[in-house]
Amino acid sequence: MAAVGPYGVRPGHALITMVEPHPGHEYAYNRWYEDDHYYAGALAMPWMFAGRRWVATKELQELRYPEDSAVAQPVGAGCYLSTYWVTEGRYDEHMKWTVAINRRLNRDGRVYGDRTHVFTAFQDHEATVYRDGAAGPRDFHALDHPYEGLVLQVVDAEGPEGRAELLEWLRSRHLPERLKGSPAALVTVFRPTPLPGDRMTYVKQVEGVETRLTLLWFLQEDPRACWDAHFAGLGSAVAEAGLGQVELVAPFIPTVPGTDLYVDRLR
């Protein structure tokens, strides 16, 4: 597998997964994910070369919108977010491995059941927009660089035929304008891909495959410090362009690996 095929560093694909541990299972879920699943179920696999976990405390959950989100119901559901980069051109190989290893983990009792997948999808990279041009970390650094926050934004085009126009507007007009003077150093844009038919049954099939785009805003400061000035109006900006609607805007801060920091602030 290493002798042929792509082996660059570009994040051609991503796994983006937002999960809600069931009430009373917050500590156990966090320890299982950090101590086992983050590695055995993700980073130990071929071609998944970077990862980072994020958390939304109750205070951060209360900043989310829209209230009638098509992604999260209630809109605060999904207090943990994990993001992973997969080497461009290696999606099919990685997917075969991840399905197989998760079947084995499940058989061996190493899958934590008391959780709900709110928004889980493998996604293909469409664009990265930088605030400072060639200066600063690139998108392949983003999950290793010590960013202080992340904003997950999910946008639906009006229909399948409109997604290309929505993407071009985001890439060439909206994101460059929004990034000027903002605490966000870069935004990555992905489109979801359907999960394989032999996926684990506790992960629902991806919605919006033909219409949806997923944006990750990487912040150099805590999202609470800049929310009203830079992120509270993302929904109206997309609506005014007439190209789609925002289904979720959700802020997160990074977890501290090996600790239970923030677990007592989720409810």
Alpha-carbon distance 189 to 187, whole Å?
A: 7
- pLDDT band for 205, please (50, 70, 90 cuts): confident
pLDDT tens string 121-167: 999 999 999 999 999 999 999 999 999 999 999 999 999 999 999 99
Rounded to 5 degrees, what are φ and ψ at 26? -60, -50
pLDDT digits (tens, 9 = 90+) for 42-62: 999 999 999 999 999 999 999
* Residue 202: predicted pLDDT: 61
Give the pLDDT of residue 207: 83
pTM: 0.96
In this model, does residue 229 exceed pLDDT 60? yes
Q: Is the pLDDT of residue 204 over 90?
A: no
Question: What would the 3-class secondary structure string for the chain be?
Answer: CCCCCCCCCCEEEEEEEEEEECCCCHHHHHHHHHHHHHHHHHHCCCCEEEEEEEECCHHHHCCCECCCCCCCCCCCCCCEEEEEEEECCCHHHHHHHHHHHHHHHHHCCCCCCCEEEEEEEEEEEEEEEECCCCCCCCHHHCCCCCCCEEEEEEEEECCHHHHHHHHHHHHHHHHHHHHCCCCEEEEEEEEECCCCCCCCCCCCCCCCCCCEEEEEEEECCCHHHCHHHHCCCHHHHHHHHCCEEEEEEEEEEECCCCCCCCHHHCC
Cβ proximity of 82 and 42 under 8 Å: yes
Q: Is the pLDDT of residue 199 over 70?
A: no
The residue whose two tokens read 């290309």 is: 164
